Amino acid sequence: MLKGIHPLLGPDLLHVLRSMGHGDDIVIADANFPVTFLGPRVVRADGVDAVAMAEAILTHMPLDTFVPEAAWRMEVVGDPGAVPEVCATFQEIVHRHAGDFTIHSVERFAFYEMARKAACIVATTEARLYGNLILKMGVVHPHESARI
């Protein structure tokens, strides 16, 4: 056990997050997402939904402020303007933890291409459709890091 670490972040995911650098992406994937063969390392989070995982990750990871977009969701096939409930909840979590960031929608196959370049895919058991999110890591400023 460690103090101050969100309990959903197991040792494999903590290692990934600690190893990521500014500009690296992490994917939070729902149960239908093709995690196994896209290429990046997969960390399983069985029994955890995507919203809870987004909350856990954003408790510790800043988003990138040096780019115009730092968070993406998969666009609804056939209805690109739709915002599924799970995605609206993602937006609330991003605002609460990272500030004034908008989650941008990306066409399904373009989203898969973005995921191929990610540092890691976190495979949740999120059952809601379109419960997928990509987050771009920002920088941790000196005043935000732990001092020993």
Report the candidate in 130, 65, 124 with the shortest Cα–Cα distance to residue 94. Answer: 65
Positions marked catalytic:
22, 64, 112
The SS3 assignment for 15 reads helix
The SS3 assignment for 41 reads strand
Which DSSP helix (H) or strand (E) runs through 27?
A: strand 25-29
Contact between 53 and 135 (Cβ < 8 Å): no
- β-pairing, 71-74 vs 133-136, is antiparallel
Beta bridge partners of 72: 104, 134
Q: Which residues contact 22 (CB under 8 A, 6 or more apart)?
A: 64, 66, 137, 138, 139
